[in-house]
Amino acid sequence: MSDRKYSQRGYMDSDREKREPRRGPGNDAPRKPIEKFDPRIPRDPRTPNMMGFKETFRCVRCGHEESPDIGTLSKCSKCGTALRACIQCASFDSSSRFECLEKITARVSPKDESNDCALFTARMKVEKQTHSAPAPPQESRSNGGHSGPSAAARKAFDDLFKK
């Protein structure tokens, strides 16, 4: 009988004799020398094009993007909801006391009507920037009356044959 309590592999392997590593079809060949880095050969995965982020102010009712500069009588340009109202404020929380995270003494009602609260700050959201900036308008006279994305290509082609 063995002097060990457990005879499974791995238990107290340190006192067992060392085995040589297995020889397989790929292990007996010498290793290749490391090649120099060549940027023209794709080896690593490409870095992804990450989207940018921007901070925007949107109307709570319709989601239309508005300017964060809000006056007392500002209204949404799409649906007409008052922008300087409790529902548009960063401190608005329907589950807190008086539906406001700030310490106010009296409830402001209705929450979607315009008010002059001194604690008002526009509710800004961070969003992914999913589209690029629009291209500047092209001059229609310089490209022979053409417009659109092919106008720049046509102008470059015409410039090739100018003397």
- Return the pLDDT at 143: 46
Is the residue at 114 inside a domain?
yes
Q: Tell me the β-bridge partners of 55.
A: 126
Is the residue at 122 inside a domain?
yes
Is the residue at 27 inside a domain?
no
Structural domain harbouring 78: 71-126
Is the residue at 161 inside a domain?
no
Please check whether residue 97 is in contact with residue 91, taking contact to mean a CB–CB distance below 8 angstroms.
Answer: no
Structural domain tally of the chain? 1
Is the residue at 113 inside a domain?
yes
Residue 132 burial class via C-beta count within 10 angstroms: exposed 0-12, middle 13-18, buried 19 and up: exposed
Q: Is the pTM of this model over 0.75?
A: no
Task: Return per-residue pLDDT of the chain as tens, 163 residues.
Answer: 556 666 666 665 665 555 555 555 556 667 777 777 777 777 666 667 777 888 888 888 888 888 888 888 888 888 888 888 888 888 888 888 888 888 888 888 888 888 888 888 888 888 887 776 666 665 544 445 556 667 888 888 888 887 6
Please check whether residue 92 is in contact with residue 86, taking contact to mean a CB–CB distance below 8 angstroms.
Answer: yes
Pairing of strands 124-129, 65-66: unpaired
Is the residue at 12 inside a domain?
no
Is the residue at 117 inside a domain?
yes
Is the residue at 100 inside a domain?
yes
